[in-house]
Structure formats: structure tokens, C-alpha cells
Structure 1
Amino acid sequence: MSGATPTDRPKIVMDARFTRMDHHDGISRYGASLMAAVAPHADVTMLIHDERQLALLPNLPWVKINSPLSPLELFVARKVNKLGADLVFCPMQTMGSWGRNYPLVLTLHDLIYYEHPAPPGFLPAPVRVLWRLYHKAYWPQRVLLNRANAVATISHTTLSLMRKHKLTKRPIRIIGNAPQGERTPRDPAGQPEKSLTYMGSFMPYKNVETLILGMADLPDFTLNLLSRITPERRAELVSIVPTGATVVFHNGVTDAQYDELLLRTTALVTLSKAEGYGLPLVEAMALGTPVVVADTAIFREVGGAAAHYVPADSPSDFAAAVRTLAAPAAWTESSTASVAQAATFSWDASARELLAIAQELRG
């Protein structure tokens, strides 16, 4: 991002109100990482609604306003107008815009919930009802996205779906995901422990059941399920663990614990049937950890030639793919290829794209 002088620095307001309080989810991490990447090249101000969010955000100027789930969101532009932004970026598509006097970029990560409409459990009950109604047709999405000057998404796969369903008349730009921070790969000549790692939610479309059933053919491997899980969902999954299989529910891990597991596991695994990107794949590959994933368009885009693809509903094919990595030479080759594939994604490239949009909308 060379060539800019201090006077060229745009003033960008970035909506950080979707940041979680104590641990990142995908959108929370995406927003925080993009802010950190843009900050060296622009005057960034973050919007928050709770000061506890600051623990997971970069050390940047911030302004506290209403929650994005508040009825006051309809009038949020009245507060944002006062900040004099050259550009406002929101990592979601729901930011209020009535009466705004600034350029606005909204983000659509995926179209998962049109096919799998069950809403995230952390949303309030009234919002979950609206969520289901919203995803029964595409026109509400069009109304939201067409309020922006430009629309961001995180993958070519989602961009293609947006064009297929004609979701916006606005320019669509890819501001992609990437591994967080500097990540030192493991030694590809070393041999991993016989364990597998899953990072993700336990919503039905994530298809964790097939991972668990596949462990029937992998009695010498341990499957680590890292994310937080409700007691009810855990009981459902425990009930299908095959006899002789080892499945460990961690119910949440820190970033350091996550990386430590990735650095010794045989592979990161996911048979999710729908994703907007698949950040755990890139996080694992950046550390030299192979990935075994469902054969979907988005995983093909992210995993390239380095990933191992299997039919999403086949426990036996999943187990067979893991078995191929038990051979030392195969694992070393896959580890090396994974690092090279992960290097094709960077937050610096995403920051450049956002800064280019800011320059275009200023000009």
C-alpha cells in the first residue's frame, strides 16, 4: 500500500458492534482482523455498543453507540454522520442507513440460511422469528444491500450466488478472510499425533454427526470437538458416538489452545454442507496442518489442491481420507502443500481492497 502520504489517509469508520464479548466467532474475528489490517493506512474509528468488546479489538479510537439489535438502529446514521467519515464499513448487511451523508459498504458473508434457515441460538427470540421470515425470500436481502454504495463479500463462491439471485445492483467486491496474525508453520518432517480437530458450531448443517460416525473406522484416533456446545446438543451427539471411538468435547478453547492443538493434530476436519468461507481451513493450513473437508464449492475455493475432499455424508470416505494421512510421506507432502495454499490469502490484500473502495468513493 505504498504511495500514500499522511494527507491521503482516508477517515474510515468500521462497525465493530458485532464483536463478541469473550471469544470470537467468524464475523467477530473477521471484523477485528480487517480493522487491524486497515489501521496502518487510514484513520480508523471503531463503533462499539459495549466496552467489553474492546478486549477482542485492536487498540484504536472508538465511539460507543446503540446495539445493532436495538430499535435505535433505524436512526444510527444521525450519530455516525457526526464522525465525518470518508467511508463507513459494516461487516454485516443490517446497519441502519436512513439519513446518512457518508459512503457505506455493507457485507454479505454467505447465503447459508436460505437453505438452512435455523437461526443462531444466541439471538433473542423475537430476532430469531424475524430471521426465519427474512430468509423465506430474497427481496428483503435486496432491499438491505441496495442501500449501500458498494457491497463486500468474502469469497468468489458467495459472489457467484449473489449474482445468480440478483441480490444487489451495487458493485460487489471481495474483501476476503485470512489467517489471523503471524503463524509459524510446524515442521513438515515431524509426525503428528493420532488426533483430529474440528472447530465450528454444532448447527445441523455443520454435519458433525458424520464426523462422529466416521470415528467407528478410526479407533486409534481421537476426535477433538473444540467449540462451545449446549448440554442438549452435546447429549444428542454423545448418543451416536460409536463403540470404541474416542470423541472429546472441549466446550470452548482459547486461541492459544486452538493453535497448540492444530500444531500436533493429524488434520483439521469438517464436513459442513454450507459455508461462506471456512476460516478454520486457512488457520490450520497456515500452520502446516492438513485438512479433510466436504467436497463443496467453497472448500474447493479455499483448500485448492492442498485439501483432501470427501462426500459430505460418507463416514467411510471420511475415515479413508484420514487413513491416507497416516503414511508419513503423505502427511509431509500434504503439510507442505497446505502452507503454500494458505499463503494465497492475506489481510493485507483485504485491506488494500477496502482502501481502494474508499478512494473510489471519495473521488
Structure 2
Amino acid sequence: MKIVIDARFTRVDHHDGISRYGSSLIAALAKISDVSMLISDPRQLKLLPDVPYTLINSPLSPAELFVAAKVNRLGADVVVCPMQTMGSWGRNYGLVLTLHDLIYYEHPAPPGFLPAPVRVLWRLYHKAFWPQRLLLNRADIVATISHTTASLIAKYRLTTRPVRIVGNAPQHGHSPRDVTAGSDKSLLYMGSFMPYKNVETMIKGMAELPGMKLHLLSRITPARRAELESLVPRGTDIVFHNGVTEDEYEALLSRATALISLSKAEGYGLPLVEAMSHGTPVIASDIPIFREVGSDAAIYVHPDSPSEFAAAVRDLEDPSVWDVRSRRSVERAAEFSWDHSALQLMQVAEEVVAQRQRRNRTSV
């Protein structure tokens, strides 16, 4: 079976969630199947595995409406897109489109890296569900990364197509830390600074955590940094890193008391799994997707309660509590892997091919 994965959503400088998801799936699937990828910028290759590729238009280009004509020439049995926006008019291949989450219906502010015209369309798109239905129903199968999102797809009747899980996972190479070494008095946040991420609550909670340092790791715009710095309680230790390398992230995870995510909405929460794979405990907002990912390994708090967050951190300052959480985190993270996700995707691709074969026999 020949599978083509759309890697045009890969960033050119550093991975975001979608970029890493696609790249990791390609690498894992290439071990068990004939895989190639689509790119739109040669600079994407430095963040992608070494598999055959085809250079075509950007997914944000008007030419996307007719992209199937280019993809048809590749002879793919199945094309997999890690988003739901791939053009499909005139396709002669099986198509899997991916919907990661429904965050932007509740929190419609678009990602800042998108061009201004696309941001306008983004807001209009998320004002109603019918555009989503039109996109998803062009696929043979819709993939998503969690049972939480699958339930929301069903709740809002977003597609008549089968919905299958192709899960997220931590990166290869994460190894559990030496739990006997304990931790330093540091907390980590890895994620964007969009309002729904709710970084404000953890900043406010630091007022109740003297001697603890909060590391805000991701890149941040000057305007957003100024907003958050105005909330920093006097005397607290909060560091804005404005981006870290993979090695720096690993080093910080290997020493931290906990990773924090108090987001009010999330498609998955990959930093939770990354932290747990190290044996770093997680404190997370009590929302369904984090319950699904963290199970009984994470500590859950109300996202609007700085005091609950601070109390959870203080509990982890007890070495025996930290040790139990650390060991359970490693156990939970071991349940996620890209190899397993690749097998899930392979099963989806086989299902697509079988569907199309049945339709062809019926039409003869």
C-alpha cells in the first residue's frame, strides 16, 4: 500500500503541535509501510524524516483548490492530512482528514502566524459548524487524536464519515529520570500564550509559592509578555525563556518539581505526556482531555483557582508524594508511543482501501 502524508503544515524553524504530530507519524509509519510526503517549502525538510517527498503549493495558496490534480499523479492508495483543509476536488485516492480539536469554536482567536486574510476567514469559519461538516465529509475517514474530541465530533454531528483515533505521543529518546535524585524547586510551562491557555492563573498562584521558580518556556510576542509581566506578584521568580531547544527542555524536565498546564481547552496536551515520560509529575486543569491523557497520574485543579494550583505544588514538596507521582507518571506515559499511533494509522488506511474497493465493486 502506498501512503502519502501531507507534511505541508510542518514549520520551517521549530515544531508546533501539528508540525510535530505529522513529522512523528511519518517517521513511525515509514518503518512499516511505503510512505512519502508532500512539502511546500524545502526548509521544512530539516524538521522531517528522511523519506521521499514531492514539492507542491502551500496549503494556504488558492491553488489548494486544485491540489488533487497534482497528488493524483503520485499514485497513492491513501493520502493522510494532519489537518482537515486539504483540497480534494477530483481526487482518485483515498483520503483521511484529521480534526485535532474544537477549541476555536469556543476560543476563536486564530494563531498569530497566519496571514491576515487567513485570520479573517478563520474567525468566520468558526462561527458555525456547517463549514466544518463540508470539509470533513470530503474524506473517506476522519481521524482525531483523542476520545474526547471524537465524542465532540459525534455530539455536534460534524461528519457522516467514520471517525477513528490516531493518537499523539511523546518524542523518542525521553527516558525516566533518577527519581532518587528528587527535584529542584522549579515548575515548567510549555505551550502557547493564547488566552485560553490560562497562564494567568499559574502566575497569580506563584504569590503563594515562595522559593519556587516558574519557567515559561515557549516563544512569546513582546505585547503578550508585557501583559503577563504586569500580573507577576512582587517577589516571585518567573522566567520568560522565549523559546528553548530540545536539549534545554529535556534538561529542565529532568530537574523540575512539576510541569503545569492550566489550559481551559486543549486538543490533547502533549507536554503532559512528555513530562510524564521523564517521571516529572503533572499539575493540570480539570478538563476532560487532561483526564483522558493523564488518568490517575496527574494532579487536577480548577483552572481558575491560583490557590488550588499552589496547594498542589506544595503537596509535591513532600518527597514521598513526589516519588509516588513520578513513578506513576512513567507508567502512564509508557502507554503512548508513535509506533502504536502508526499502527492505528495503518489500520485506518487499510479500512479506507477496503471501503473504496467495495464501492468500486458496487458501481460495476
Among 247, 259, 264, the alignment partner of 2:255 is 264
Letter in 1 for 2:29: V
Q: 1:353: Cα distance to partner? A: 1.3
**Who is 1:23 aligned against?**
14
CA deviation vs aligned residue, 1:158-202 (integer Å, no higher than 9, x gap)? 000000000000000000000111221001222101000000000
Q: Say if 2:327 is the partner of 1:336.
A: yes
Among 292, 299, 305, the alignment partner of 1:301 is 292
Q: 1:350: Cα distance to partner? A: 1.0
What fraction of aligned residue pairs are identical, expressed as a percent?
70
Q: 2: distance between equivalents of 1:261 and 1:182?
A: 15
Which residues in structure 2 correspond to 1:1-363 (within 5 Å)? 10-363=1-354
Mean Cα deviation higher: 266-275 or 353-362: 353-362
Q: Which runs of 5+ in 1 are unaligned?
A: 1-9
Q: 1: distance between equivalents of 2:353 and 2:158?
A: 25
RMSD across aligned positions (CA)? 0.6
Q: 1: distance between equivalents of 2:268 and 2:44?
A: 24
CA deviation vs aligned residue, 1:137-166 (integer Å, no higher than 9, x gap)? 000000000000000000000000000000
Q: 1: distance between equivalents of 2:122 and 2:184?
A: 42
CA deviation vs aligned residue, 1:287-312 (integer Å, no higher than 9, x gap)? 10000010000000000000000000
CA deviation vs aligned residue, 1:41-75 (integer Å, no higher than 9, x gap)? 11111100000000000011110000000000000
SS across alignment from 1:176:
coil
**Who is 1:7 aligned against?**
none
SS across alignment from 2:180:
coil
Q: How many pairs does the alignment contain?
A: 354
CA deviation vs aligned residue, 1:14-38 (integer Å, no higher than 9, x gap)? 0000000110000000000010110
Q: Which runs of 5+ in 2 are unaligned?
A: 355-364
SS across alignment from 1:211:
helix
Letter in 2 for 1:23: H
SS across alignment from 1:286:
helix
Q: 1:346: Cα distance to partner? A: 1.3
Q: 2: distance between equivalents of 1:289 and 1:210?
A: 21
**Who is 2:361 aligned against?**
none
Q: 2: distance between equivalents of 1:304 and 1:341?
A: 8
Q: 2: distance between equivalents of 1:191 and 1:181?
A: 23
Q: 1:358: Cα distance to partner? A: 1.7
Q: 1:87: Cα distance to partner? A: 0.6
Q: 2: distance between equivalents of 1:124 and 1:360?
A: 36
Q: 1:230: Cα distance to partner? A: 0.4
Moved over 4 A (4+): none
Letter in 2 for 1:308: I
TM-score (norm 1): 0.97
Equivalent pair of 2:141/2:352 in contact (CA under 8 Å): no
Q: 2: distance between equivalents of 1:78 and 1:128?
A: 27
Q: 1:362: Cα distance to partner? A: 2.3
**Who is 2:360 aligned against?**
none
Equivalent pair of 2:12/2:47 in contact (CA under 8 Å): yes
Equivalent pair of 2:15/2:47 in contact (CA under 8 Å): yes
TM-score (norm 2): 0.97
Letter in 2 for 1:142: R
SS across alignment from 1:41:
coil
Letter in 2 for 1:28: S
Q: 2: distance between equivalents of 1:362 and 1:144?
A: 20
SS across alignment from 1:22:
coil
Q: 2: distance between equivalents of 1:246 and 1:357?
A: 47
SS across alignment from 1:189:
helix
Letter in 1 for 2:90: G
Q: 1: distance between equivalents of 2:271 and 2:309?
A: 18
SS across alignment from 1:40:
coil
